[in-house]
Amino acid sequence: MAGSLNKVILIGRLGADPEIKQMVNGKSVARLSLATGQSWKDKNTGEKKEKTEWHRIVVFNEGLVNVIQQYLKKGAQIYVEGQLTTRKWKDEQSGQDKYSTEIVLQGYNSTLTMLGGGNTGGGIQNDTTQQNNNIEDSSQVSNDMDDEIPF
């Protein structure tokens, strides 16, 4: 479909340590549970209210999976850009079709950036490094054509 866009941008904290699994083809995949939230003041009572949304993030890029495995822990704050995907699967117990909606990081249009520093929950420490550690899809970097220009 021409003129369409499927892009999700989230900033949140990991609700659990990343889960790394091996696929049948031997490559690794990372699954993240990301919490985003909002807070507001109730107009009637003046009470502070909060709402948390949980997002499933699936990372297929091998380079990002390695970095996730090394540096991300529960509580780390991250920025992600990916695509929204809904997949269908069968429940083994009931045999019924089930659906899962996930944010997939794969290919050129994916970004994962570690935010924050210090001891805020397992991100990269903010010693003398930059506060934002941007880890972009490694296939984007490897496809630079600068070194293959014939003139």
The residue ranges of every structural domain in the chain are 8-37+49-140
For the record, the structure tokens of 26 come out as: 């031997």
Structure confidence at residue 116 (pLDDT): 77
What does each C-alpha distance from 41 to 38, 46, 48, 50, 131 come to in angstroms? 11, 6, 4, 9, 31
DSSP state of 94: T
pLDDT tens, 58-81? 999 888 999 999 999 999 999 999
What average pLDDT score do residues 101-118 get?
Answer: 86
Is the pLDDT reported for residue 137 higher than 90?
no
| pTM score above 0.85 | no
What dihedral angle (degrees, nearest 10) is formed by the CA atoms of 71, 76, 80, 85?
A: 100
Q: How confident is the model at residue 125 (pLDDT cuts 50, 70, 90)?
A: very low
Work out the number of other CB atoms within 10 angstroms of the CB of residue 150.
3
With CA atoms as reference, report the closest residue to 7 among 97, 95, 84, 90.
84
Cα 137 to chain centroid distance, Å, stands at 12
Dihedral pair phi/psi, residue 40, rounded to 5°: -155, 170
Q: How confident is the model at residue 89 (pLDDT cuts 50, 70, 90)?
A: confident
Share the mean pLDDT of the chain: 80
What dotted CATH number matches 8-37+49-140? Answer: 2.40.50.140
How much of the chain, in percent, has pLDDT values that exceed 70? 76
